[in-house]
Structure 1
Amino acid sequence: MKQVEGDLIALARDGQFNVIVHGCNCFHNMGGGIARIIAQTFPEALTADRATPKGDPAKLGTISQVTVACGAHRLTVVNAYTQFDYQGPGPLVDYDALSRAFRAVAQAHSGARIAYPMIGAGLAGGDWARIAPLIDTALDGLDHTLVTLP
């Protein structure tokens, strides 16, 4: 896992990455954290999320995605279903679902430059020390980068 400081969205729009992954709940709610920013910046990502069954626990560990034009290049935004709900006592992240979702990302984007925030460790209340090795294992051998805010 590489790590850089910066704005994930800006770096992706500038062509540093061609796939970005963010954690989602199963209820089509992208109202907080980076999910809100992604939904505002790339409304197609919210449309892709809403094309999945609302509130379906079977979505846990799966992904939906959309590819959008960013100037001269294309960017795929991956909605990774890493938590069932968006409210309630935490942590909300489902570690097994997170691992399965990143394995799905690895299968779908093996040749890509993949970037993500600290998925599951923000509003979802998960433990990054537990999450990082899950992502590293799932994306082993791939070009992937954690982007943290300065």
Structure 2
Amino acid sequence: MSEIIYIRGDATAPSVKGVKVIAHVCNDIGGWGKGFVLAISRRWPEPEASYRAWHRERASNDFGLGAVRFVQVEKYVWVANMIGQRGTRTGSKGVPVRYEAIDTALTRLADKALELGASVHMPRIGCGRAGGKWSRVEPLIVQRLVRRGIGVTVYDHGEGQS
């Protein structure tokens, strides 16, 4: 595979065969309640519960920018909670997205996807509520995932996603 596949649809419901990892970006302050995470929570409670526990116990774990927690939600479906934004609001330090953290998280995602023999499915990560630019995120996905032979599908939201 040499490029990202773009389709319109729901990234929480990939229709391909085999193992799938649904990847998305989370903030570093424990907030879960707006954007794509709502679509995830409508389908499975485990990713939110895992994220909240990970944040709550952050003094004794790797929770922080660039970290990833993988949560198995079905036999062949995993969700990757990737910490790629600082806070939740645009302010004096700019937009919440942190491209370096997304880059680090994508490297970890690639390792897990290769271990699982999985394809990766995602919205335009870091570009919704995090305020990022796809022109900065897309090359990271190509470099970290596509060039390692991992199939990547990016979903442009249909109804009910933000």
Q: TM-score, normalised by structure 2?
A: 0.81
Gaps of 5+ in 2: none
Aligned pair partner of 2:55 in 53, 59, 79: 53
The whole-number CA distance in structure 1 between the counterparts of 2:29 and 2:42 is 17
Would you say how many aligned residue pairs link Structure 1 and Structure 2?
146
The whole-number CA distance in structure 2 between the counterparts of 1:51 and 1:113 is 27
Contact 1:68–1:75 (Cα < 8 Å) also in 2: yes
Cα deviation for residue 148 of structure 1 reads: 1.0
Aligned pair partner of 1:122 in 122, 125, 128: 128
The whole-number CA distance in structure 2 between the counterparts of 1:58 and 1:46 is 14
The whole-number CA distance in structure 1 between the counterparts of 2:80 and 2:109 is 8
Task: Identify which range, 74-83 or 34-43, moves more after superposition.
Answer: 34-43
Match of 2:30 in 1: 28
The whole-number CA distance in structure 2 between the counterparts of 1:48 and 1:84 is 19
The whole-number CA distance in structure 2 between the counterparts of 1:132 and 1:17 is 22
Q: How does 1:124-143 map to 2 (within 5 A)?
A: 124-139=130-145, 140=147, 141-143=149-151
Contact 2:68–2:109 (Cα < 8 Å) also in 1: yes
Contact 1:17–1:115 (Cα < 8 Å) also in 2: no
Q: How does 1:98-117 map to 2 (within 5 A)?
A: 98-110=102-114, 111-117=117-123
Cα RMSD (Å) of the superposition?
Answer: 2.2
The whole-number CA distance in structure 2 between the counterparts of 1:99 and 1:91 is 17
SS for the counterpart of 2:22 is: strand
SS for the counterpart of 2:89 is: coil
* Identity between Structure 1 and Structure 2 (%): 31
The whole-number CA distance in structure 2 between the counterparts of 1:51 and 1:30 is 12
* Per-residue deviation, residues 84-106 of structure 1 (Å, max 9, x unmatched): 21124241100000000000000
Q: TM-score, normalised by structure 1?
A: 0.87
Match of 1:76 in 2: 78
User: In 2 relative to 1, CA 53–32 (structure 1 residues): closer, same or farther, beyond 3 Å?
Assistant: closer
* Per-residue deviation, residues 74-120 of structure 1 (Å, max 9, x unmatched): 21011010012112424110000000000000011112111110011
